[in-house]
Amino acid sequence: MIKKAEELGVEYSPNLKGGKGTIKIINILENKDNHRTGRLFGVSIIPVGGSIGKHQHVGDFETYYILKGKALVNDNGNEQILGPGDMTKCNDGDYHSIENIGDCDLEYIAVILYSKQKEK
């Protein structure tokens, strides 16, 4: 399978998980293409001042890999500033949030895979 950029699905999520602003998600793989291994493989774009609110992962885990911008990430109460090349992983049962604290769009790869608990 090959898809050109203009063929990728795009979603817009306002106030995602109680956050601020509208998040743009470019789906690299659609759910039908991931062979039931997860529910997201895409690029998330958060505008300046925007965020995804604090939320818990149950039955899955999520990894962010920062491509562009400056993020304030809350990983189970541990707040850190992340930039390009940094990553964070939220394990099954844990919680996290992310906020764009930079002066340009925050762009990162987001992957949500099902945990072994979910497979059973």
- CATH number for the domain spanning 107: value is 2.60.120.10
Is residue 120's pLDDT more than 70?
A: no
Whether residue 31 is contained in a domain is answered as: yes
Give the number of domains in the chain.
1
Per-residue pLDDT reduced to its tens digit, 64-118: 999 999 999 999 999 999 999 999 999 999 999 999 999 999 999 999 999 975 4
Task: Provide the domain limits for residue 59.
Answer: 5-114
Structure tokens at 71: 């993020």
pLDDT, greater one: 3 or 35? 3
Whether residue 119 is contained in a domain is answered as: no
Whether residue 120 is contained in a domain is answered as: no
Helix, strand, coil distribution of the chain in percent, nearest 5: 10, 55, 35
pLDDT of residue 31: 82
Per-residue pLDDT reduced to its tens digit, 5-38: 999 999 999 999 999 999 999 999 988 888 889 9
